[in-house]
Amino acid sequence: MSRAVRPYKPEDRTAIVAILAGSDPWKKLGYTDTDWKKLFDPLPAGREGFVIESGGVVEGFALLRPKFLMGDYLELLVVAPSARSNGLGSALLKHIEGLVFARVKNLFACVSDFNAGARQFYKKNGYQEIGPMPNFLIPGSAEMLLRKTAGPARSA
């Protein structure tokens, strides 16, 4: 099947909310359909959204926040559970990295400490775990700050 990454459009909202509402780690973190609808009504100012389609169907989404800690922050990356493990997440991530590393040297992300699959995914894609942020979203769990770099933000 053909796959393509393109900018988010408001008409993608329903498909993306359905993917997020039915996916972990967000269910475990307590996010609801209402939370996701608020995020996309409208997309927060200054954010860049991208979808990945497979065969014309929205199968994933990434939300990028530019200008974060001398880099950019990948605020959200999700692939539909039924479409996982076939390269869509990696393709979407590579697209984001291409945009980011053309303008800055660092890309940051966070992943829940209990989300072993996501931690492995980011490690495989060259991300380093910087450290935990305990009790950041829910009690008893930490968000792990991740970084992929193309070099120092400044030269000496």
Query: Domain spanning 3-149: which CATH class is it, in words?
Result: alpha beta
User: SS3 of 97, please?
Assistant: helix
110 sits in which H/E element: strand 106-112
> Once rounded to an integer, what is the mean pLDDT over residues 80-92?
86
Using the 8-state DSSP alphabet, how is residue 1 labeled? -
Predicted local distance difference test score (pLDDT) of residue 127: 97
Predicted local distance difference test score (pLDDT) of residue 1: 66
**Facing residues of 147 across strands?**
108, 128
pLDDT digits (tens, 9 = 90+) for 90-148: 999 999 999 999 999 999 999 999 999 999 999 999 999 999 988 887 788 899 999 99
> Measuring CA to CA, how many Å separate 91 from each of 19, 46, 69, 79, 132?
18, 23, 25, 11, 27
Is there a contact between 58 and 18 (Cβ–Cβ < 8 Å)? no
pLDDT digits (tens, 9 = 90+) for 29-59: 888 878 887 777 777 788 999 999 988 889 9
What token pair was written down for 124? 């495989």
